[in-house]
A and B are shown apart, each in its own frame.
Chain A
Amino acid sequence: MVPSRRMLMQGAASAGLLASAPFVISAQAQTAVPRAQQLRCVMHADLASLDPIATTASITAYHGALIYDTLFGHDEASVARPQMVSEHSVSPDGLVHSFTLRPGLKFHDGQDVQAKDAVASVKRWGARDGAGQHLFRNVAEVAASDARSFTIKLNKPYPLLVDWLGKSSPSLCFIMRESDASTDPARPITEAVGSGPYMFNRAESRTGAQYVYDRNPNYQPRSELVSAMAGGKVARMQRIVFQNMPDEQTAISALLAGEIDFIERVAPELQDQLRGNTRIRTEVLNKTGSIGWLRMNTLQAPFNNVKARQAMLHLIDQKAVMQATFGDPNHFKACGSLFGCGTTMENDANTAWFKGGQNIARAAALFREAGYAGQPVLIMQQTTSPVLSNASLLIAQWLRQAGVNVELAPLDWAGIVARRARKGPVAEGGWSIFLTWASGEAYNNPITLAGHAATGESGWFGWPEDARHEQLRDAWAAAPDLAARQRIARDMQENAWNFVPHVYLGQWFATAAMRADVRGMIGLPDLVPFWNVSRG
Chain B
Amino acid sequence: MVAYVLRRIGSTILVMVLVSLLVFLLLRLAPGDPAAVLAGDNASAEQIATLRRLLGLDDPLPVQFLSWLWAVAQGNLGASLYSAEPVTLLMSQRAEATLSLALATLTVAVPLAIVMGVTAAHRAGTGTDRVLMLFAVAGFSLPAFVVGYLLVYLLAIQAGVLPVQGYQPIAEGIGGWAAHLVLPAITLGLIYTALIARITRATMLETLSEDFIRTARAKGLPMRRVLLVHALRNAGVPIVTVIGIGVALLIGGVVVTETVFNIPGVGRLVVDAIARRDYPVIQGVILVCSGIYVLLNLLTDLSYTLIDPRIRY
Q: Which residues of A contact B (CB under 8 A)?
A: 1-3, 5, 8, 19-20, 22-28, 30, 46, 48-50, 54-57, 60, 128, 130, 170, 184, 186-188, 190, 206-210, 243-247, 249-250, 253-254, 256-257, 259, 384, 411-415, 417-419, 421, 436, 438, 449-451, 458-461
Contacts and interface: CB of A to CB of B under 8 A. Distances in A.
14 contacts: A2-B1, A19-B99, A48-B37, A49-B83, A56-B43, A186-B54, A188-B38, A209-B264, A243-B262, A253-B149, A257-B163, A259-B166, A417-B41, A421-B48
Nearest to A457: B45
A23 B96 contact: yes
B42 A421 contact: no
A514 B260 CA distance: 20
- The 5 tightest CB contacts between A and B, nearest first, are A56-B40, A27-B171, A209-B264, A417-B36, A418-B33
A247 B94 CA distance: 18
Interface string B274-313: 0111000000000000000000000000110110000000
Interface in B162-200: 163-166, 169-172
B157 A256 contact: yes
B2 A411 contact: no
A28 B259 contact: no
A54 B44 CA distance: 12
Given A186-B54, A450-B44, A413 B37 contact: yes
Given A26-B171, A245-B262, 10 more contacts: A22-B92, A27-B169, A48-B276, A54-B51, A55-B40, A56-B42, A130-B42, A188-B38, A208-B268, A259-B165
Contact of A187 (B51, B99, B170): B51
Residues of B contacting A: mostly: helix
Contacts of A419: 31
Which of A26, A384, A418, A450 counts the most B-chain CB atoms under 10 A from its CB?
A418
A170 B42 contact: yes
Interface in B129-173: 149, 152-153, 156-157, 160, 163-166, 169-172
A45 to B, nearest CB: 11
Contacts of A206: 93, 264
A208 B39 contact: no
B96 to A, nearest CB: 4
A415 B32 contact: yes
Contact of A250 (B41, B42, B262): B262
B42 A207 contact: no
A1 B5 CA distance: 11
Interface string B2-46: 100000000000000000000000000011111011111111111
B33 A417 contact: yes
Nearest to A453: B44
B109 to A, nearest CB: 18
B80 interface: yes
Contacts of A414: 31-34, 36-37, 275-277
A209 B262 CA distance: 9
B164 A253 contact: yes
B202 interface: no
Contacts of B153: 253
Given A23-B96, A245-B262, A417-B36, A254 B54 contact: no
Nearest to A129: B42
B262 A417 contact: no
B297 to A, nearest CB: 16
B44 A459 contact: yes
Nearest to B85: A207
Most buried by A among B90, B164, B169, B269: B164
Interface in B220-245: none
A257 B170 CA distance: 22
Interface in B77-126: 80, 82-85, 90, 92-96, 99
Given A208-B264, A250-B262, A384-B275, A48 B42 contact: no
B215 interface: no
Given A450-B42, A450-B44, A46 B33 contact: no
A23 B170 contact: yes
Contacts of B272: 46, 208, 246
A59 B37 CA distance: 13
A5 B156 CA distance: 40
Contacts of B166: 243, 254, 259
A257 B261 CA distance: 13
Nearest to B302: A3
Nearest to A460: B44
A421 B43 contact: no
Given A186-B47, A208-B90, A412-B32, A5 B99 contact: no
A418 B32 contact: yes
B305 to A, nearest CB: 6
A244 B169 CA distance: 17
Contacts of A417: 32-33, 36-37, 41, 48
Contact of B306 (A5, A27, A187, A384): A5
A56 B51 CA distance: 14
Interface in B43-87: 43-48, 50-51, 54, 80, 82-85
A438 B54 contact: no
Contacts of B277: 414
B250 to A, nearest CB: 15
A484 B93 CA distance: 55
A8 B298 CA distance: 13
B31 A418 contact: yes
A184 B54 CA distance: 10
B312 to A, nearest CB: 9
B48 to A, nearest CB: 7
Given A207-B85, A384-B275, A253 B259 contact: no
Contacts of B43: 55-56, 450
A66 B259 CA distance: 27
A42 B185 CA distance: 24
A254 B83 contact: no
B281 to A, nearest CB: 9
Contacts of A259: 163-166
A250 B54 contact: no
Given A187-B54, A207-B90, A421 B83 contact: no
A30 B94 CA distance: 17
Given A186-B51, A250-B259, A414-B275, A257 B2 contact: no
Nearest to B152: A253
Contact of B171 (A2, A23, A54, A186): A23
Given A184-B54, A208-B264, A27 B37 contact: no
B38 A250 contact: no
Contacts of B275: 384, 412-414
Contact of A247 (B30, B80, B157, B262): B262
Given A186-B47, A421-B33, A421-B48, A208 B269 contact: yes
Contacts of B170: 20, 23-24, 27
A460 B41 CA distance: 10
A249 B269 CA distance: 20
A253 B171 contact: no
